[in-house]
Structure formats: structure tokens, C-alpha cells
Amino acid sequence: MAGLKPPFNEKDHFRGNRNASVQLVEYGDFECPHCGAAHPVLKEIEKKYNSQIVLIFRHFPLSEIHPYARMAAVASESASRQGKFWEMHDLIFENQDLLDRELLLRLARFIHMDTKAFQLDLENPELFEKVESDFESGILSGVNGTPSFYVNGDKYDGPYTFQSLAYALDQALQANL
């Protein structure tokens, strides 16, 4: 079974309880329709498990088949610099059928980002390096498609339905009692 490399760390984007005993990591691509379908499921998971888990997102843009995936990942990193990663993350997934540079700029305006800084960031090599670092960690962790999930560092190979993910999280919570 493939394991998460590196483990959850200070470079990761997370929501929930940082110190939770259960970690759910998603390697995702903002343009991937499967990741788009998983997005509302993960929102339900967050509601159910609240402070019991920490949800972590890492970039895995499949740029050869999704031409705006890398740009969207960089846009979310720009939003992170302004304390708005998760706002941008959610809006991109909720509008992924319209994804292009203009949409990203509209979303940045919508969440009241500094749009001059945002536009500069879309060309910032540091942000591309962060996205590439996440991608490389996915390769090391055995990611072969998106979305890919890891529960407490172990690759989760089940479907990304609410019931299936909840079962895996319940099992992990029980193991930590």
C-alpha cells in the first residue's frame, strides 16, 4: 500500500482540527470533473466530522488533459498569500466548468483579493514551485489519478462517496481510541 510522502506539514493547506487524530489528504486537480464531483462529498464529510479530522488539500494538476488546472492551482496559492486559499478553492470547484484566466480574476475580485498582486502571482515562479512540489509528493505517494485520498498516511482506494469515505474515517477514528 502506498504511503503519503511527505506527511502532513506546515506547507499544507488544511481545514479542521490541525491536531486531529485522523487526517484526510486529497490530491486534487481543479479542472478534473471527478474532483469536482468529490467536492460536495468532502463538504459533507467536513460537516459530519467537524473537529474530529483534519482535511488537507495538495495540488495534482493533470496539465496535459486539463489546460487550466495548473493556473487554477497557482491562483489558489496566490489566494493563500492573502489568507483566502479555501475561499478560492471552493469557488474554483463550484465554477470549474467555466475555468479560464478571466474566471480566476473574477473570483479574486469576488473574494476581495488585491487583484494587482493576484495577477503578478499568476506568473510567480515561487507559486509554480509550490504546485510542482505538491505534484512531486503525489508521485512519491503513488498518486495515479485525481482525486486521490490518503487516510492517516495510507492510500485510500475506495470510491469517493460519502458512505465509503465516512466508513474509512470511522475505522481510522476507532483505531485511534
Domain containing residue 161: CATH number = 3.40.30.10
pTM above 0.85, yes or no: yes
- Is residue 8 included in any domain, yes or no? no
Residue 144's domain comprises: 13-175
- Is residue 89 included in any domain, yes or no? yes
- Is residue 148 included in any domain, yes or no? yes
CB 127 within 8 A of CB 52: no
Which class for 149: exposed (0-12), middle (13-18), buried (19 or more C-beta within 10 A)? buried
Distance of CA 124 to the CA centre of its chain: 20
**Per the structure, how many domains does the chain have?**
1
- Is residue 106 included in any domain, yes or no? yes
Taking only the tens place, the pLDDT of each residue in 127-143 is: 999 999 999 999 999 99
Give me 19's grid cell: 491536531
Taking only the tens place, the pLDDT of each residue in 31-83 is: 999 999 999 999 999 999 999 999 999 999 999 999 999 999 999 999 999 99
- Is residue 36 included in any domain, yes or no? yes
